[in-house]
Amino acid sequence: MSSNNLPRLEVCLSPALLHLFDTKDAVVVIIDVFRATSTIAAALDNGATSIIPVASVQECIELGQQIENSITAGERNGQIAEGLEHGNSPSEYPKEFISGKTLVLTTTNGTRLLHMVEDAAEIVTGSFLNLSAVSDYLAGCNKNVLLACASWKDRFNLEDTLFAGAVVSNVADKFDINCDSTIAAQQLFQSIDIEHPIEFLRNGSHYKRLSVYGLESDMEYCTMIDKHNVLPILRDGKLVANSH
C-alpha cells in the first residue's frame, strides 16, 4: 500500500522491464491483445473448460497427448506452430467447437510472460474483449496491480499499451498512481477514438506484421470491446473463468 492507503497501479511496457517491478502479492494482468489474451477470453466465454498456458511447443504437444478432450494450439511469429492443431485466433474457437474442451496454448509473447510472474497474488488475463470484466475486478481487489504488456519479443507495442491505458482510465480513482508508464498509457488511450481502437492500431508494427498473414479481420475481432466479457484467472496452472 502507498502512503495514502490506496494500492498502487503500475504498467510494465515489456517483459524486459519486469525485473523493475514487484509482483509479489500483487494482481498481475497479462496483456497480449494480438492475440493470446483475446483468444483466451473468447475460448473461455464460449465454454472451454480451462486453458493451460505453456511456454514451449513441445510441452504443448505432450500435454495434449495426456489430457482427454483437449486441443493443442498456438503460434510462433504469428503462424500456427508446427506440430499443433490450431492457431492463436479468437475466431477459431466458437462455442460449438470449444465448449467442454481443454485448450493447451503456447504463444510467442503472452504465455511466456505469464510464466514470469508466478509469485503474484493473482494472475488474470486482459484484452479489449473483456475490458469491463478486468476493470471491475481490479476496482474491487484492494491490492497492488501490475498491468503487464507482453509486447513483441520484448519491444514496446501499441496495442498492449493502449489496452493498459483503457484499464487505467477505468480504475484510476481506486489506486495511487506514481508511475510514468501508467500515466503515458492512460494519455495514449485518451488520445484516440475509444470506440474504434483498431483505427489507431493499424499504424502499429505488430498489426502490419500480422497483416502479411492475412489476419486483418482477426485483429479487428481482438479490438471489439467487451465481446467476451469473462475474467480468466489462473488457478493451479490453468486459466478458468472466474466465478463471482
* Mean pLDDT score, 83-89: 90
**Angle at alpha carbon of residue 185, lines to 184 and 186, rounded to 5°:** 90
In this predicted model, what pLDDT tens digit does every residue of 211-226 receive, in sequence order? 999 999 999 999 999 9
Q: Does residue 4 lie in a domain region?
A: no
CATH of the domain at 219: 3.90.1560.10
90-114 residues labelled b (16+ CB within 10 A) or e (exposed):
bbbbeeeebeebbbbbbbbbbbbbb
- Domain assignment present for residue 1? The answer is no
Evaluate whether residue 175 is within a structural domain: yes
Q: Which three cell numbers stand for residue 234?
A: 489462473
| φ/ψ (deg, to 5) at 32 | -145, 75
**36-79 pLDDT, tens per residue?**
999 999 999 999 999 999 989 999 999 999 999 999 998 888 88
CB 116 within 8 A of CB 15: yes
Can you tell me the mean pLDDT for 177-205?
96
In a domain, 2, yes or no: no
Range of the domain at 163: 9-241
- In a domain, residue 112? The reply is yes
Domain count of the chain? 1
Which pLDDT band holds residue 198 (cuts at 50, 70, 90)?
Answer: very high
The grid coordinates of residue 59 equal 510441452
Query: 3-state DSSP helix/strand/coil percent for the chain, to nearest 5?
Result: 40, 20, 40
For residue 111, CA distances in Å to 47, 52, 79, 92, 115 come to: 20, 9, 15, 18, 7
C-alpha cell at 47: 465454454
Please compute Rg for the chain using Cα positions: 17
Residue 105 belongs to a domain: yes
Q: What is the pLDDT of residues 103-124, one digit of tens each?
A: 999 987 778 888 899 899 999 9
**Domain assignment present for 52:** yes
